[in-house]
Amino acid sequence: MSNKVKVTVYGTEYNITSDADPEHILRIAKYVDQQMKRTSGLVSFTSTTKIAILTALNIADELYREKLQNRHTANDLNERIGMMVKSLDDILEKSSTKEPIKKKK
């Protein structure tokens, strides 16, 4: 089901149609608006297009860095899991070669 949401980004209203939750769309629009205002405060030019492009590049950089960090984290976790599985396999192998403990009656 498509949702229609009116958002304002950097002083311009946009009508967004999306399957995403309206609250999510509003949060994303607010984030982009904040980033554009932040960018405009750091540069000397006033072109909305240039500010939007620079903001898009900054957001893309954030996303790229997050993905890279997540990839490193996933690799580290997979390595740790592999070491744990090997340790468990070693323990199970050692315990299977010992004589079973007999229960006292």
- 3-27 tens-digit pLDDT: 999 999 999 999 999 999 999 999 9
Strands 3-9 and 12-18: antiparallel
Per-domain boundaries in the chain: 3-96
State the number of CA atoms in the 13 A half-sphere of 90 facing the CB: 6
**Per residue in 22-31, is it b (16+ CB within 10 Å) or e — as a string?**
eeebeeebee
Q: What is the pLDDT of residues 77-91, one digit of tens each?
A: 999 999 999 999 988
pTM of the model: 0.73
